[in-house]
Structure 1
Amino acid sequence: MTLDAHAHFRTLARYNAWATARLLDAVAGVPEQDYRRDVGLFFHSIHGTLNHLLVGEHGLWFVRFAEGASPRLALDTELEPDRARLDARLRDGAARWEPLIASIPAERWSATLDYITTRGAPASLPFAATLAHVFHHGTHHRGQVSAALTALGRPCPELDLVYYLQNPAMP
């Protein structure tokens, strides 16, 4: 069986944008005090975790894949203190992945991604597997935010990939 990398990763990019939007819609109703409260997540609060997604997914990985650059950002950097702007930047950033993936030439999928880590060390990882990491990383942290919503007594949306795939009307 041959995997069509473009189709597979474009699906993951669309799912990532869909799941991010659903989660952000659910977070929108959280009072500011709860949004910024330390609820025991690795990045402490819902805000801290969403900022980490902005750093990791868009400030680091997107730049590495799209530009071949290696920004030096700490994983807990607060790139966007404003809640509304963070929401917009996460949505806009998620929408940028599918066009990038569509532009990747076939030979690139079996190559490596060479970059400098946030600690300054050179790294060379399999290109496709590392791109998969980006989407898995987002799923992991969306799950953390979902758990925080539940702990706060708030509703959280269904975010499973299978749910997305079973609903053909979804983007």
Structure 2
Amino acid sequence: MDPHSHFATLARYNAWATRRVLDAVATLPEADYRRDAGLFFKSIHGTLGHLLVGEHLLWFRRFAEGVSPRVALNDEVEPDRTRLAERLLEGAARWQPLIESWPAERFDGALDYTTMRGSAASLPFAATLAHVFNHGTHHRGQVTAVLTALGQPCPELDLVYMLQEETPT
């Protein structure tokens, strides 16, 4: 599989899974949505806010613009839950066109950026891009665990379900 196809699939999956998680949490009462559920970023809202910061305000800009903004990973940059959901979906939709714009040889290179501590870093480009999508999968899994603990229905998020939906019968 060529890198464009592989990472475009991951970008589609990221948007698909994000939409499914957001649909699942949309009907939660505010108290359940914001309660400290023992997650690293405490609540569902905190975890989704971290995804906005990490995926879109930090990593996307590193990949798309070559800049490393100074933002804390636990900053609440969007307190409104409806607007947070919109921004997550908008951000997820930006990855696939970006990936498709890169020449194939870009995936064999390095991503040079500045860490959160201000140090220069250089990591393998493709592996670091895979990290971004893996990171989102991890935190969406945390949200679904909270939904389960609350007795709420939980969406199926396995990649194969998206692939099955995309496959004509």
TM-score for the superposition, normalised by structure 1: 0.96
Distance 2:84 2:165 in 1: 28
Distance 1:11 1:148 in 2: 27
* 2:27 is aligned with 1:7: no
CA drift at 1:164: 1.3
Distance 1:5 1:107 in 2: 9
* 2:59 is aligned with 1:61: yes
SS at match of 1:120: coil
Q: Residue in 2 aligned with 1:49? A: 47
SS at match of 1:167: helix
CA drift at 1:12: 0.5
Distance 2:2 2:49 in 1: 32
Q: Residue in 2 aligned with 1:120? A: 118
CA drift at 1:163: 1.5
* 2:133 is aligned with 1:148: no
Distance 2:151 2:77 in 1: 28
TM-score for the superposition, normalised by structure 2: 0.97
Question: Runs of 4 or more off by more than 4 Å in structure 1?
Answer: none
Identity in percent: 74
Among residues 155, 164, 167, which one is paired with 1:166 in the alignment? Answer: 164
Q: Residue in 2 aligned with 1:104? A: 102
Q: Residue in 2 aligned with 1:22? A: 20
Unaligned runs of 5+ in 2: none
SS at match of 1:108: helix
Distance 1:120 1:162 in 2: 39
Distance 2:56 2:108 in 1: 23
Distance 1:122 1:140 in 2: 26
Distance 1:118 1:39 in 2: 26
Q: Residue in 2 aligned with 1:32? A: 30
Amino acid at match of 1:51: G
Distance 2:166 2:132 in 1: 24
Query: What is the root-mean-square deviation of aligned Cα atoms in Å?
Result: 1.0
